Amino acid sequence: MRRPGPAQEEVRLVRREWAKVRRFRVIRQHLWSSASVPGTPEPEGAALRAVGRAFRSLRDEVQPVAAATLGTVLLAGVLAACSVGRATPVGPTNVIVHTVPMPPPVVGGACIDSTRSMPRPVVVGAIDALAEMVQNWVPAPADRTRGSNPVPGLELEVRKVLGGSSLAAAGELARVSIPGVPGVISKPAVSDDGYVEKVRAWRDQVRAADAATSRARAEAKEGAAAIRGADWSSGRSEIAGCPEALALTTTGPRRVWVLVSDLRQNEPPQVGLGDLTDARILIVQVCVEAQGCLDQQHQWSRALSDRGAARVAYARPEQLHSALSSWFRGQGS
């Protein structure tokens, strides 16, 4: 049997490829018609029209064999795109991506009575507890696959009790400013509707939270060091002026303060200038006589409440570490 010559082989190849072209035209025409039927998803119609334009360009500008081959590839691609489109439409979708609300910063103040009447271990313990709370205000980064809660910022003024008047500028030892950390939604499951948009939002939230955590922990470390390294030496006790100074220098609808003292005021109280409205004050009281302690509590509670304090609570020095954290994080509730 004679083998076909080069010319015959070329004719056979061209005929076979043009047969593909005719089949492609028939199938394309069928799909084009279905794209115009009401109810056909718009992404499919757009895809089919794009294929039509591409094929016409190939037919006019490229050799027939190449046009037919590439047309077949385009047909396979659009069929796949349309079949996928019916399950998961391509294009804009109304996917709702949730965010975690960011709470307002905690506005706080701390007064520590480090005068001679205060037991030295209590003073040292109070300074350490306050510095520890500040340093641990923002937890270390963790796995956020299940999401994470936001951490509010902390604005904290730290003062000490002075003799004469605790309103004096020398009483201010540190100002701590820790930025908040945004929360993160849980990582979506692959089977969730709008998975692509949701996982992209989750990754963006994780990056933002990790960056904010790094900044906040650096500020917290500096704040804790400032508290520990401050000059806490003091002489006599003008105690009432210390929360008075906080009233003058802190602002916010929900101020949270702590006062560590034996409440033994031995100088005229410097009060009447600041506004204690909505302030929540935890007094860590150092006392050895039960009845004397109760009398002091009644006196201080009445005086602070009369000037607008929303709440006055008390704790013992041995409760200081746990009391501080729960008081500030719970915003004095």
User: Residue-wise over 93-130: b if at least 16 C-beta within 10 A, else e?
Assistant: eeeeeeeeeeeebbbbbbbbbbbeebeeebbebbbebb
- Nearest by Cα to 166 from 96, 114, 228: 114
DSSP 170: G
pLDDT at 99: 87
Instruction: Compare 278 and 14 and report the one with higher pLDDT.
Output: 278
Q: What is the pLDDT of residues 240-264, one digit of tens each?
A: 999 999 999 898 878 999 999 999 8
CB 266 within 8 A of CB 237: yes
Element containing residue 257 per DSSP (H, E) = strand 255-261
pLDDT exceeds 50 at position 171: yes
Which H or E run contains 158?
strand 154-160
Please count the CA atoms within 13 angstroms of the CA of 58 that sit on its side-chain side.
Answer: 18
Averaged pLDDT, 128-134: 96
Parallel/antiparallel/unpaired status of strands 255-261 and 280-285: parallel
pLDDT digits (tens, 9 = 90+) for 5-37: 545 655 565 566 556 556 555 555 544 454 444
Residue 136: pLDDT band (50, 70, 90) is: very high
pLDDT for 186 equals: 94
Instruction: Please write the tens of the pLDDT for every residue from 189-238.
Output: 999 999 999 999 999 999 999 999 999 999 999 999 999 999 999 877 89
Read off the DSSP letter of residue 140: P
pLDDT at 314 over 80: yes
pLDDT in tens, 62-107: 444 444 444 444 444 444 444 443 333 434 457 778 888 999 999 9
| pLDDT given for residue 49 in this prediction | 57
Task: In whole angstroms, give the CA distance from residue 71 to residue 177.
Answer: 64
- Residue with the bigger pLDDT between 22 and 38: it is 22
pLDDT digits (tens, 9 = 90+) for 285-304: 998 777 888 999 999 999 99
